[in-house]
Structure 1
Amino acid sequence: MIQMILTGLLCGALLGFVMQRGRFCLTGGFRDMYIAKDNRMFYALLIAIAVQSIGVYTLIQMDVIQFSTGAFPWVAVIIGSFVFGIGIILAGGCATGTWYRAGEGLLGSWMALAGYMLMSTIMKSGPLTPVNESISSVVLPKNSIADTTGISVWVFIAIFTAIVVWIISRELRKPKIVIPSMKPKRTGIAHLLFEKRWHPFFTAMLVGLIAILAWPLSEATGRMSGLGITTPSANILQYLVTGDVSIINWGVFLVLGIFLGSFIAAKGSREFRFRMPDAKTGITSFIGGILMGFGASLAGGCSIGNGLVMTAMMTWQGWVSLVFMILGTWTASYFVFIRPNVKRKTAAAQSAVTTA
């Protein structure tokens, strides 16, 4: 138990610290791909996937860890991932982003987190469990892309990594926009950790390395998996209600560690402060959290569990989930950001014509 607590909190704290300092937000990244035509955060995700994929499959080949892809619940993954994508736009952050932003003192994220944990628990061990299990029962027998095609997984990893290296090298060659910065108030390690702006690609490499570390640390406690947010979040609420200690595992301390690590990073960088949203934003965040919990539970993973981990394991579940997650964020972004803006411009134009 002590090992579980210490390693789970440590891994989670590292992840929370890195994501907070690097502003590693997949919700903003997916949204910016559509609205601002800015792909940098998506490219950062690809880096983290490539790093983790190489590291984890090396550990598997060395018999350090074990992994089974299982079957592919394709209907649940498609529906759940799309709903999850809508939810993270309304919530203002994905599952991990909500945890680390809650650690910054953003009370809207606390509301989103409450909805996320509540619906995840309802889906996994509450009245919607039969619905979850029924939709998830529609499966294809093979989830591994390598098993389906009969081609070694290392071929897919090599091709994917080569594509990522090409994309990143091209991106780094683009002219840089120099933004004037204030004179550093700190020096040395303090400046690097808490003041200097972290590059998203550097942050992604660290996230990928932490994702690799999560596998042996988790499996050492009997949990045969890597990073995961949804089930541990549901387990926390279920434990608080039932007191069932058996559901407390390494993943629970991982997500608690994310909150702790983000809090340390936010305090160190002087970014921590309690911020109360207005009523409309608070309600929207809670509804977004509800959709996140429903979607992630149905899809078998969130933007981390599916979008980072299962993609790195070269599974159909991971890559199909990532595609529909992005489509969900784009759909919500249109109705939340694009359409209202178009309506305002149209109304302003009509008003100008009428006045003239």
Structure 2
Amino acid sequence: MAEFYAVLISGLLIGMLFGIILQRGRFCMNSAFRDIILLKEYKLIKSVALALLTCMAGFGIMGLAGWVTWNPKPLFAYGSIIGGFVFGLGMVLAAGCASGTTYRVGEGMMGSLVALVGLAIGAFTTKSGALSGVTTALQSVSTGGITVFGDLTPLFCLIIGVIGLVVTFYFWVFKEIKAKREKFFDFSNLGENIFKKGWSWYSTGYLIGIINIIAWPLSAAAGRNYPLGITAGWIGNLKYLVTGDVAALSWISWLVLGVIVGALIASLIAGEFKLRTPKEGKTILLQFLGGFIMGFGAVVASGCNVGNLLSGIPQLSVGSIVSSVGIVLGCWFLAFLLFREKDD
């Protein structure tokens, strides 16, 4: 029993580290995708790319060494693209992706808390409630978990990851540091740089990739053979609150709670914690609706932006790639419509 709880606590600790990184790096995939078309800003999407490449290299090593067993998400003929697209719509309305919404609760943002409640309810309802029939229908045609290169996928992940990291380091990171005449390793005022100042996009990307690599074997040791995720954790937590079933509190349930705790600690130390409530009731309603839609889309697509994009793409899962394309398209579609409406 002690060993069981020790394994679950590892989920809490990984979640706390993940939450700290998200908060200090202001990392949100909704912002990353939206900023491309609205602001022509690419730093966050570069951070996402570095995280993916880091994961690919790490996953490849662990897969080839036999430390983890490859576990790609299933490809659904309808569910993957539809669920992803709906999730993308939802994160625009919620003003944050699943991970971004979760960590912002730790900063005191009540709108994000409302969105998170919506996500949990939407996911729970779609997984095992009134909308479960829709899920069954949209997931009725599936090829199972397939990868781009089959049994050779771990090797290709390692190759792509290493080459990608070298190329992006030179053209993105090294050139930016050189242009700004900064130090790559600056140990002066270390405490202030870590706890007070915002982290660079490249440091954030690398660290998210590293924490995801560490998370996979720890999660597998707890009986969940998969890297980081978000939505499944909130489904488990809500199930526990509704039914009282302690078994619902798995490794991933502890992880998502840890994300909030980590973000809370980081924001308090940085002096950035503040209880903030949206001024208009309409905004609160939209964030709840966005969260609910995200929960629906995540279950239908068998993963959110973390489960599919951050953890699935580095495994070269075809299902995750299709779902992630849907997420990006959904985000761009609604962000463009809302931006055009405000611009007019």
TM-score (ref. length: structure 1): 0.88
1:215 match: 216
Q: Distance in 2 between matches of 1:154 and 1:201?
A: 25
Q: How many residue pairs were aligned?
A: 332
Q: Distance in 2 between matches of 1:141 and 1:246?
A: 27
Q: Which amino acid aligns with 1:109?
A: S
Residues 193 and 30 (structure 1), Cα distance of their counterparts in 2 relative to 1, 3 Å cut = same
Deviation track 1:241-287 (CA, whole Å, cap 9, x = no partner) reads 00112221100000000000000000000000100112121111111
Q: Distance in 2 between matches of 1:17 and 1:114?
A: 21
Q: Is the 8 A contact 2:19 2:263 kept in 1?
A: yes
Q: Which amino acid aligns with 2:253?
A: V
- Report deviation, 1:153: 4.0
Task: Determine whether 1:290 maps to 2:292.
Answer: yes
- Report deviation, 1:52: 1.2
- Report deviation, 1:330: 0.7
1:102 match: 105
SS in 2 for 1:275: coil
Equivalent in 325, 328, 332 of residue 326 of structure 1: 328
1:253 match: 254
- Report deviation, 1:37: 1.5
Alpha-carbon RMSD: 1.9
- Report deviation, 1:170: 2.4
Q: Distance in 2 between matches of 1:31 and 1:10?
A: 30
Q: Distance in 2 between matches of 1:53 and 1:140?
A: 23
Equivalent in 118, 142, 154 of residue 139 of structure 1: 142
Q: Which amino acid aligns with 1:2?
A: Y
Q: Distance in 2 between matches of 1:151 and 1:63?
A: 13
Q: Distance in 2 between matches of 1:250 and 1:287?
A: 27
Deviation track 1:98-129 (CA, whole Å, cap 9, x = no partner) reads 11000000000001001000010001111211
Task: Determine whether 1:8 maps to 2:11.
Answer: yes
1:198 match: 199
Q: Distance in 2 between matches of 1:188 and 1:160?
A: 32
Task: Determine whether 1:17 maps to 2:6.
Answer: no
Gaps of 5+ in 2: 181-187
Residues 152 and 258 (structure 1), Cα distance of their counterparts in 2 relative to 1, 3 Å cut = closer
SS in 1 for 2:291: helix
Q: Is the 8 A contact 1:22 1:198 kept in 2?
A: yes
Task: Determine whether 1:90 maps to 2:83.
Answer: no
1:37 match: 40
- Report deviation, 1:60: 2.2
Q: Distance in 2 between matches of 1:335 and 1:58?
A: 42
Q: Distance in 1 between matches of 2:103 and 2:221?
A: 25
Q: Distance in 2 between matches of 1:293 and 1:142?
A: 21
Q: Is the 8 A contact 1:111 1:282 kept in 2?
A: yes
Q: Is the 8 A contact 2:153 2:316 kept in 1?
A: no
SS in 2 for 1:72: strand
Residues 142 and 23 (structure 1), Cα distance of their counterparts in 2 relative to 1, 3 Å cut = closer
- Report deviation, 1:138: 1.2
Q: Distance in 1 between matches of 2:178 and 2:332?
A: 27
Q: Distance in 2 between matches of 1:165 and 1:83?
A: 35
Residues 24 and 280 (structure 1), Cα distance of their counterparts in 2 relative to 1, 3 Å cut = same
Deviation track 1:148-190 (CA, whole Å, cap 9, x = no partner) reads xx75542354235434543453234359997xxxxxxxx8343
1:317 match: 319
1:111 match: 114
TM-score (ref. length: structure 2): 0.91
- Report deviation, 1:67: 2.5
- Report deviation, 1:193: 1.8
Q: Which amino acid aligns with 1:63?
A: G
Q: Which amino acid aligns with 1:222?
A: G
SS in 2 for 1:81: helix
SS in 2 for 1:272: coil
Q: Is the 8 A contact 2:59 2:154 kept in 1?
A: no
SS in 2 for 1:140: strand
Q: Is the 8 A contact 2:88 2:327 kept in 1?
A: yes
2:185 match: none
Q: Which moved more, 1:133-142 or 1:231-240?
A: 133-142
- Report deviation, 1:44: 1.1
Q: Which amino acid aligns with 1:221?
A: A
Q: Distance in 2 between matches of 1:193 and 1:291?
A: 35
2:240 match: 239
Structural mapping, 1:121-200, within 5 Å: 121-141=124-144, 143-147=146-150, 152-159=153-160, 161-163=162-164, 165-172=166-173, 173=175, 188-200=189-201
1:182 match: none
Q: Which moved more, 1:220-229 or 1:6-15?
A: 220-229
Deviation track 1:68-114 (CA, whole Å, cap 9, x = no partner) reads 32642132110011111111111011001111000000000001001
Q: Is the 8 A contact 1:84 1:296 kept in 2?
A: yes
Gaps of 5+ in 1: 179-186, 344-356
Aligned-residue sequence identity (percent) comes to 35
